[in-house]
Structure 1
């Protein structure tokens, strides 16, 4: 789906001012509220906007330790292991991957001892052959999408002027 210059401006506002009303967004952008709502609805329908709501901090919830756990899985058991990972509350994300492992899980924990307990729980899952853990020391680039949105918007805008 193409994201044009107006979509980019809308997404920037949604990212930078998430608690603002649709009416206020329309005023800031100098467009009709109906136009804005139609654009937001299309962005949601097309999967560009996938969620709304607060972004939570695991550290503020008492889980300051962040680790990436690579899991090697017995062939044919990827779906079952993925479903089992979804039952572990300390796993905040998990992805199928290529390379040295089959799954990569982002895991949060209260402390290193708790992280070890979570890893031991993962090792016990049927279909998990081995794990490899990397503990994050410091966040260098926080999760962000605005630079990507702006890049896509620039590319689309440049392409439409030709």
Structure 2
């Protein structure tokens, strides 16, 4: 699907607030509510918009600690890890990456004891490195039209 400036403007508004009404978005981008609805439907049908999600405050749900953990899998353990990691409730993002490590995960935990228990489970699959997240510098930055200009 070819995304024009209006589609990009609609996407930016949806990334800010996916619950915004079509009329609210239309006022901001200069379109009528039905025109916005039609464009959104086309972007959903083409797969440009794949889902709408709720972003939880992990801190307010009792998960006070966030960390990034990398894993360098032991020989022959990567496949088993890729299957098992899906059951780890603490892991909110997991990526297979290039470089010295095979995996990078973002995790949410109650406290340091919870982190220790998770690391104990992970080290059966490989060598880990843990980085505690202090703050989020860019909060869910929207993808903007300029992404296509690189």
Bucket of the pairwise TM-score, normalised by the shorter protein: 0.7 to 0.9
2:40 maps to 40
Taking the aligned partners of 2:128 and 2:53, their CA distance within structure 1 comes to 33
Listed one character per residue, the Cα deviations across residues 25-79 of structure 1 (whole Å, up to 9, x for unaligned) are 3354443444322321232234332321321121111112111111122445434
Aligned to 1:98: 98
- SS of the aligned residue for 1:86 comes to helix
Whether the aligned pair in 2 keeps the contact of 1:92 and 1:107 (CA below 8 Å) is yes
TM-score calculated relative to the size of structure 2: 0.83
After TM superposition, the structure 1 = structure 2 runs for residues 53-132 of structure 1, keeping only pairs within 5 Å, are 53-75=53-75, 77-124=77-124, 128-132=125-129
> Are the aligned partners of 2:94 and 2:105 in contact in 1 as well (CA < 8 Å)?
yes
RMSD: 2.4
Paired residues, number? 150
1:16 corresponds in structure 2 to 16
Tell me the distance in 2 between the aligned counterparts of 1:41 and 1:80. 39
Choose which of 129, 141, 144 in structure 2 pairs with 1:144: 141
Question: What is the match of residue 132 of structure 2?
Answer: 135
Which structure is richer in relative contact order (CA contacts within 8 A, separation 6 or more)? 1
Secondary structure of residue in 1 paired with 2:87: coil
Unaligned runs of 5+ in 2: none
Change (3 A) 1:88 1:34: same
Q: Which runs of 5+ in 1 are unaligned?
A: 156-162
After TM superposition, where is structure 1 displaced by more than 4 Å over at least 4 residues in a row? none
